[in-house]
């Protein structure tokens, strides 16, 4: 790979964005790439925003990504996709889980959850993949594997053999959850390539 590939994971606490970034980092390291990872947690235990930045390439100097320099945005929740879409390059790709998790201001009635998020994203970003990742994870056997469904989608957008992704799952996912996560990963991958 020439240059640096910038991938941004955005979600809320408990959705597994950090595990996803560690799986991706493992894959990149297995290719011999330099990897830098940065995490930002905003009251993650209470459903606050969680943002992780993964930069990979031959040589990576900084762990943070400038606005407008993200190649692939992976959003675990659609409002988070909306909030972070400005980070994408003009020709960047967005992978968006069609899941609604209402933040505290919406829950207490101080704000309204936007109804037009997906329409707005589709009109402002050229390459958007919207996926019912929660449904696919549930069908695979565990709703908590939604993050790994999204990793399957991401894998379909990257030129890295599936074997490396499977090895990363084996290295990062607890053994008792490995099989369901492998099913969830393939559900996401197959959704993307169909």
pLDDT (tens digit per residue) in 94-106: 999 999 998 888 8
pLDDT (tens digit per residue) in 52-75: 999 999 999 999 999 999 999 999
What per-residue confidence (pLDDT) applies to 171?
96
In angstroms, the CA 181 to CA 86 distance is 31
pTM score of the predicted model: 0.92
pLDDT (tens digit per residue) in 147-188: 999 999 999 999 999 999 999 999 999 999 999 999 999 999
Instruction: Classify domain 5-99+115-193 at the CATH topology level.
Output: Pyruvate-ferredoxin Oxidoreductase; domain 3 (3.40.920)
With beta carbons less than 8 A apart as the criterion, state whether 26 and 18 touch: no
In angstroms, the CA 153 to CA 41 distance is 24
With beta carbons less than 8 A apart as the criterion, state whether 60 and 38 touch: no
> Order of strands across the sheet with 34-41?
34-41, 49-57, 4-12, 70-75, 88-97, 127-131
Is the four-CA dihedral 166, 172, 175, 179 of positive or negative sign?
negative
In angstroms, the CA 30 to CA 35 distance is 10
In angstroms, the CA 41 to CA 90 distance is 26
Of 52-56, 102-106, 132-136, 190-194, least confident by mean pLDDT is 102-106
The tokens for 53 are: 């930045």
């Amino acid at each position: 790979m020439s240059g640096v590939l910038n991938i941004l994971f955005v979600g809320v606490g408990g959705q597994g964005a950090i595990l996803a970034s560690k799986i991706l980092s493992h894959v990149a390291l297995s290719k011999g790439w330099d990897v830098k990872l940065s995490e930002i947690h905003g009251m993650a235990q209470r459903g606050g925003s969680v943002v992780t930045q993964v930069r990979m390439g031959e040589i990576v100097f900084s762990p943070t990504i400038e606005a407008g320099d993200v190649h692939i945005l992976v959003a675990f929740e659609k409002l988070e996709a909306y909030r972070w879409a400005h980070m994408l390059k003009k020709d960047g790709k967005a992978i968006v889980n069609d899941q609604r998790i209402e933040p505290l201001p919406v829950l207490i009635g101080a704000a309204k959850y936007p109804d037009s998020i997906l329409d707005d994203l589709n009109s402002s970003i050229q390459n958007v993949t919207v996926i019912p990742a929660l449904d696919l994870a549930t069908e695979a056997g565990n709703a908590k594997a939604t993050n790994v469904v999204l990793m399957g989608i991401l894998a379909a957008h990257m030129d890295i053999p599936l074997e490396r992704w499977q090895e990363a799952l084996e290295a990062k996912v607890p053994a008792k959850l490995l099989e369901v996560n492998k099913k969830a990963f393939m559900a996401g991958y197959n959704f993307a390539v169909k």
